[in-house]
Amino acid sequence: MKSQQSDQKIRTNCKECVFAIYDGAGITQISCAHNRIDKFADDVVEAYDEEKQFYVIDRLCTYYRDRKWGYNESDIEKVKKESALSFDIVFNANDINEEKATSIISFINDNEYYRDKISLFIIHETYCYANVKDTVKKIMQNSKGSISVSVCASIEEYMHKLLKKTKNAYHAIIDQPEKLSPNILNRLNDHVNENLNKFIVAECDGIKFIGNFTYKSLNSFNPSINYFKNINEIVNNSIDSNFYIYEN
C-alpha cells in the first residue's frame, strides 16, 4: 500500500463496507464484492491506518454499506435495488389508438425493472377526452400495478408541475410506446450503477430520459412553465457538457 490518508477530500472509504473483500488475515483489502475497485480504476487510491489496508474511492460509491446500517455480505441484490434509478414514465394519450394501447399494456406488464422504482402516468388534454376515454379505460383494465390517469388543459403545464414535486430521478414522455423494450430501464440503470457513467439526458431507442434534478435546478434559476423549451435547453447543455448518452 502507498500512503496514509492525509487530506480532507470527500471520498468513499471502503474500510468498513460489508462488500470489501480482505485477505485471509482480514487485514488487507484485495477486492470488492461488486467489482467496484476495478470499475472505478483511476478513481481508486490505496490507504491504510493502524488497523487495516484498504481502498478509498475519489467518487461516491452508491453501493457502500456498513454493518452499523444492518447490512451484511449477502445483501448484494438488496443494495442494487436500493441504488437503482427511479423513473416517471408518462404516456401521452392525445392520439392514442389500439396499437399504442397494446404496446403500453405490454410494457407495463412485461417490463423487467423494479416496479416500485417506476411511477406510471397516462395523460391527455381535455379536448380529446371523448376520443380517447375508451382506449385509456382498456389500458387501465388490462394493466398490472398502479397507474395515474389525468386530464389536463396543457401537457406542458402538467409536466412542469409534475417535475417540480417528483422525487424520482428521471422522466420520459412516451409518444411512441412501441419503442419501449422490456429491458430499457435496466439498460439505463446499468449505465450509472454498473458502468459508472454519469448522464443528465439519455436517449435510448429514440426515447429521451431527462434528469429531474436538473430540471428543478434550471427552474429555480430561470423560472418558466415552458416545459418543452426547458427540456431543449437541458438537452443542449447536456450535449455540450458531455452528459448526454446516446444508445441505439
Q: What is this structure's pTM?
A: 0.90
Among the residue ranges 8-22, 100-114, 141-155, the one predicted with the least confidence is 8-22
Tens-place pLDDT, residues 32-75 = 999 999 999 989 999 999 999 999 999 999 999 999 999 999 99
Domain boundary among 80, 112, 133: 80
Q: Are residues 19 and 126 in the same domain?
A: no
Query: For residue 14, is pLDDT > 70?
Result: yes
Do residues 31 and 117 both lie within one domain? no
Write down the mean pLDDT value for the chain: 93
Are 108 and 144 in contact by the 8 Å Cβ rule? The answer is: yes
- Which pLDDT score is estimated for 224? 79
Confidence tier at 7 by pLDDT (50, 70, 90): very low
Check whether residue 99 and residue 164 sit in a common domain: yes
Query: Does residue 238 sit in the same domain as residue 195?
Result: yes
Domain coverage including residue 152:
84-247
pLDDT at position 123 over 80 = yes
Domains of the chain: total: 2
Cα distance between residue 1 and residue 22, in whole Å: 14
Q: pLDDT tens digit string along 167-223?
A: 999 999 999 999 999 999 999 999 999 999 999 999 999 999 999 999 999 877 777
- Do residues 69 and 110 both lie within one domain? no
pLDDT band at 9 (very low <50, low <70, confident <90, very high): low
Q: What is the CATH number of the domain that holds 88?
A: 3.90.550.10
What are 86-103's pLDDT values in tens digits? Answer: 999 999 999 999 999 999
Same domain, 55 and 103: no
